[in-house]
Structure 1
Amino acid sequence: MGFPGTWMTESESVVYRVVPKCACSTIGQILYYSDHGEFFDGDIHDATAGLHKWGIETSRDLITANVQGHKSYAFTCVRNPYTRLLSSFFDKICGIQRNGKRYRGNLVPLLMQKYGVEVGGDDGQDDFDQVRSFRRFLLFVRDTIRWRRPMEPDIHWSATSGHVATFIANGGTYDKIFWTEEFNDGMQDVLDHIETPHKVDLATIPRFNESESHGPKRAHPVEEYFDDLSMHLIYEIYKRDFDLFKYDFENPSNKRPIAEIDLEEVHAKLGD
């Protein structure tokens, strides 16, 4: 299986396990800058040079040797399941993607037909009942994750712990897992532990939110999207994420963690 979703600087200063919807565009650009002194011109996910990626065939042996030998500092970044799923809905389901098309072709028509989801018209900008549509999308997410129908779960809403786990299962060890909600502190801690060809000043780094303009703006506070049933479904799907990464299931309005992440616990429970 190897190390899907793993990126490494060409200098091998650091290894990063990408988790979709968890500041991955900004982190990728920081890694690129730390090696080259400039940002990648475009979406870092499209870069095919300047950064080792598991998806690039020639990078795989280098990544495998580094990770299994734990030669470099390794980290990842996680996010509150409530806000991560909302972000996936507005970006991937309601939004037009950077290629000018809907995400995954027939996915949105399927959701509209089978689940009654509305997405704000052809361009995602019309008014619609966001709460009702999101809750219907949540049923679809549950179906994909629990029964793998009508399709396999997508990387943007499959559990964060599942992404994090593949790195451990194949011989990787994390030195740091930090929260998107406390990005500056977490990313600075990573930078403090590594030597890079170019110094990174986090205070001057822009945020590369590649999905920001894709879809409609969220019209309500987070908690309004989640009634008792929605919270039950979220916990059923993302229980390990809440437990391991110390997020507050009881209060959707609290996006901040409520305890420190225990790296030993993460490795023990996700390394099975």
Structure 2
Amino acid sequence: MTESESMVYRVVPKCACSTIGQIMFYSDHGEFYDGDIHDATHGLHKWAREDSQSAIKANVKTRSSYAFTCVRNPYTRILSSFFDKICGIQRNGRRYRGNLVPLLIQKYGIEVGGEDGKQEFDQVRSFRRFLLFVRDTIRWRRPMEPDIHWSAMSGHVSTFIVNGGRYNKIFWTETFNDGMRQVLDAVDTPHAVDLSAIPRFNESEGHGPKRAHPVEDYFDDLSMHLIKEIYWRDFKLFKYDFDDPSNKMPVGEIDLDEVHAKLGD
């Protein structure tokens, strides 16, 4: 939440959250946070900061600020998670979650492009094995709890509703400028934001190897079955095309009433 309480944003990992956080920071302070916005300990209210929780809780309960979130095609989101978090070296110079990648190499036979993530490897085969691991974490919570970067978007979105919030807007990363413009047009901010001049703060860019194939090449019948098992609700609620992995664009309008009804249990 901005310190001015102009807007509240429910973070969904791998859905332009770095850029949105920086826009919120700028809208209050007239400058961007110097560094990864996820590391910011000032200038934004965050649930992870104990001193922010009471302010966020009060605001969400009274629905006194404009509330929004942003979602992404499940096919491209899970691919991004694989290349960034599994194959990539993180900004601290180490592998994500310490022993996670060695575990995947040992238990699932995944390759990640060597020590630095830059060597060639069979991306399609490794990604499909990673999907088996994702399914295991979500279905059986083995060999670990599901990670926020590949757990379903609907799960992230629902916590805000269950705790008393109501979204004014849910938009797609695929039409980011249009969606973010609608948010900014609906609120008063201490500093105006020129979206055309905002850089993309893709904090995961360059962490891992480049995707070598079109999106659809990574998903065979079995992969699509696993994706359906994990993310079917995401496709339905946020109006993405399950049948065509090559089509990253939404195929309908998000129905906010439907989202609140189905995720508010």
Please report the TM-score for the alignment, with normalisation by the length of structure 2. Answer: 1.00
Displacement of 1:106 after TM fit?
0.2
Cα deviations by residue, 1:188-230 (Å, 9 ceiling, x for unpaired) = 0000000000000000000000001100000000000000000
- Aligned equivalent of 1:62: 55
- Aligned equivalent of 1:219: 212
Displacement of 1:155 after TM fit?
0.1
Q: Matched residues in 1 for 2:103 and 2:37: separation?
A: 30
Cα deviations by residue, 1:80-135 (Å, 9 ceiling, x for unpaired) = 00000000000000000000000000000000000000000000000000000000
Select the residue among 183, 191, 194 that pairs with 2:184.
Answer: 191
1:260 maps to 2:253: yes
Q: Percent identity?
A: 82
Cα deviations by residue, 1:32-64 (Å, 9 ceiling, x for unpaired) = 000000000000000000000000001000000
Select the residue among 99, 102, 112 that pairs with 2:105.
Answer: 112
- Aligned equivalent of 1:41: 34
Q: Matched residues in 2 for 1:185 and 1:94: separation?
A: 32
Unaligned runs of 5+ in 1: 1-7
1:157 maps to 2:157: no
1:129 maps to 2:122: yes
- Aligned equivalent of 2:240: 247
Moved over 3 A (4+): none
- Aligned equivalent of 1:146: 139
- Partner of 2:136: helix, strand, or coil? helix
- Partner of 2:69: helix, strand, or coil? strand
- Aligned equivalent of 1:4: none
Displacement of 1:181 after TM fit?
0.4
Q: Matched residues in 2 for 1:181 and 1:235: separation?
A: 21
Q: Matched residues in 2 for 1:68 and 1:248: separation?
A: 34
Q: Matched residues in 1 for 2:144 and 2:119: separation?
A: 27
Unaligned runs of 5+ in 2: none
Displacement of 1:156 after TM fit?
0.1
Select the residue among 93, 100, 110 that pairs with 2:86.
Answer: 93
In structure 2, what residue type is equivalent to 1:25? S
Select the residue among 43, 47, 53 that pairs with 1:50.
Answer: 43
